[in-house]
Amino acid sequence: MRRILVGIKRVIDYNVRVRVRPDGTGVVTDGVKMSINPFDEIALEEALRIKEHGAADEIVVISAGPDEAQQQLRTALAMGADRAILVRTPIEVEPPAVARALLKLVEREKPLLVILGKQAIDDDCNQTGQMLAALWDRPQATFASKIDIHGDTARVTREVDAGLETIEVDLPAVLTTDLRLNEPRYVKLPDIMKAKKKPLDVTDFAALGVDAAPRLKVLGFEPPPKRQKGVMVKDAAELVAALRQKGLV
């Protein structure tokens, strides 16, 4: 069975304007729309395409999060994943703990590929995929904008600061997705009905033998300083004059 594991994180929807709670304990989540982390949706779409091209047989979506993350896993099943695993946790877990939990599932599922988003848009950490690859002692291809599977290797084009870099990795490997890899499909209503019958297993960190306790203590949560509102200039000449006066041009 050629299997692909895909990580799915439940995050505040990317269209929501996130606000820090006045008491500094976190961000406002009451009544806020939650979604699949956009990079993870791209990871799932890529896995679905690889399967549709005949290079994989089964796609398993995995989330580490609260009970409510089952909603995002159901959406992933409706998009086309075959089954889902929730690693349930009532606390915020950090990338090293998620990577260790994924490693346990990798040992059980023996995938050909693990595809994760390059970062979650809540903590913006950009760590989990690289950490899993290290613990698993397998290749990583991060920030992917193109993936081609050829037998037991993958050729991956990566978005790097200098431009684009293409690497070849032996499989199994961990890949993380960048924004331009693909455009995820929309979920259709009949697929939502079908997804309800797909298997969704629930486990937790203790059952996997992984310590989920955070190692970084969050001491404070503040809104960013506001930029002072600027001035309106009426035309190009006034703008250039202002910039000249400040010595900027």
User: Which 20-39 positions form the footprint of other proteins (CB under 8 A)?
Assistant: 20, 27
For residues 45 and 38, what is the distance between their CA atoms, to the nearest angstrom? Answer: 11
Stretch that binds other proteins, among 46-54, 104-112, 199-207, 216-224 (CB under 8 A): 216-224
CA-closest candidate to residue 39, choices 116, 117, 95? 117
Between the alpha carbon of residue 143 and those of residues 14, 40, 171, 214, the distances in Å are 19, 12, 17, 26
Contact residue for other proteins among 48, 63, 105, 143 (CB under 8 A): 143
Binding status of residue 231 toward other proteins by CB under 8 A: yes
| Residues constituting the chain | 249
CB of 101 to other proteins, least distance (A): 13
Binding status of residue 121 toward other proteins by CB under 8 A: yes
Match 């809540």 to its residue by tokens: 122
Strands 10-12, 153-160: pairing is: unpaired
Binding status of residue 152 toward other proteins by CB under 8 A: no
Q: How many CB atoms lie within 10 A of CB 133?
A: 24
For residues 200 and 70, what is the distance between their CA atoms, to the nearest angstrom? Answer: 8
CB of 245 to other proteins, least distance (A): 11
| Rg, C-alpha atoms of the chain | 21
| Contact map string, positions 167 to 206, toward other proteins, x by CB under 8 A | xxxx--x----xxx--------------------------
Judged by CB, which is closer to other proteins: 28, or 192? 28
Judged by CB, which is closer to other proteins: 80, or 129? 129
Stretch that binds other proteins, among 75-83, 189-197, 203-211, 213-221 (CB under 8 A): 213-221
